[in-house]
């Protein structure tokens, strides 16, 4: 599943895998024309801010929209509520998130008639489904410097989507800024990643960066062949 997500979001059916890589050529002369009171920032400054962003805690609502041309997938592991994690690959979905550090989180995927929750507290994790009205407990292994963190089945949050986009950078893509705009009631800069290779089917990846915390608020992926809106959006 992680391989599928990375392919769909970042490389997205390019004839050559390297052709669709989201890369970086950050120029110091490219600046965000910020409306007052936000100061202008270069693309390089925004990249550094995003990669260094840290928050102690947050909560909020996430909306993810996917229009990647994939057929509707069955809600494996869920009932009629339509709230399984596999359903995130297509359609529109709403999630609630609570974050209180690296070892304390809760994620609630809301379906039309049900809800799926994942809760972590230290090494204890619970998976709860309203369809079966049951919870499953898992004991997580202790953290190890030699084992990578597990990759989520889908970029459930703007932060995860932004991390995947930035992790794939190489010299094949230009990076610029596109002013400021409100996102979820907060002022944000917009960082734009655009593959230079004409064979890539990705036109742009746009990352809205919170002006105060530098946390990504929204990530949008646009097709090179269509101007009908983002093929993938999470914010």
CA–CA gap between residue 181 and residue 209 (Å, rounded): 10
> Any bridge partners for residue 99, and if so which?
58, 105
CA–CA gap between residue 129 and residue 39 (Å, rounded): 46
* Strand positions, DSSP E, 36-114: 58-66, 91-99, 104-110
Per-residue pLDDT of the chain (235 residues; tens, 9 = 90+): 333 344 333 333 333 333 333 334 444 344 555 455 789 888 888 888 888 888 788 888 888 887 766 555 444 444 444 445 555 666 788 889 888 888 899 988 887 778 889 999 999 999 998 888 889 999 988 876 555 555 444 556 788 788 778 776 777 878 888 889 899 888 999 999 888 888 888 888 899 999 998 988 998 888 887 777 888 888 8
């Amino acid at each position: 599943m992680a391989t599928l997500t990375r392919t769909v979001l970042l490389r997205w059916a390019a004839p050559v895998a390297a052709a669709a890589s989201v890369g970086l050529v950050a120029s110091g002369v490219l600046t965000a024309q910020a409306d007052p009171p936000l100061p202008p920032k270069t693309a390089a400054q925004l990249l550094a801010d995003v990669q260094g962003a840290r928050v102690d805690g947050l909560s909020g609502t996430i909306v993810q929209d996917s229009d990647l041309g994939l057929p509707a997938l069955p809600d494996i592991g869920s009932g009629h509520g339509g709230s399984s994690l596999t359903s995130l690959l297509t359609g529109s979905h709403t999630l609630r998130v609570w974050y209180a550090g690296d070892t304390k989180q809760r994620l609630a995927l809301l379906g039309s008639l049900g809800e799926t929750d994942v809760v972590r507290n230290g090494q204890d994790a619970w998976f709860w489904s309203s369809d079966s009205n049951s919870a499953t407990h898992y004991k997580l292994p202790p953290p190890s410097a030699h084992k990578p963190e597990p990759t989520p089945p889908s970029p459930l949050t703007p932060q995860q989507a932004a991390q995947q986009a930035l992790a794939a950078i190489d010299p094949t893509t230009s990076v610029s800024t596109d002013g400021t705009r409100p996102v979820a009631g907060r002022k944000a800069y917009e960082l734009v990643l655009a593959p230079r290779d004409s064979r890539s089917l990705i036109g742009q990846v746009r990352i809205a960066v919170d002006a105060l915390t530098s946390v990504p608020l929204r990530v949008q992926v646009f097709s090179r062949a269509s101007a009908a809106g983002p093929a993938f959006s999470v914010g």
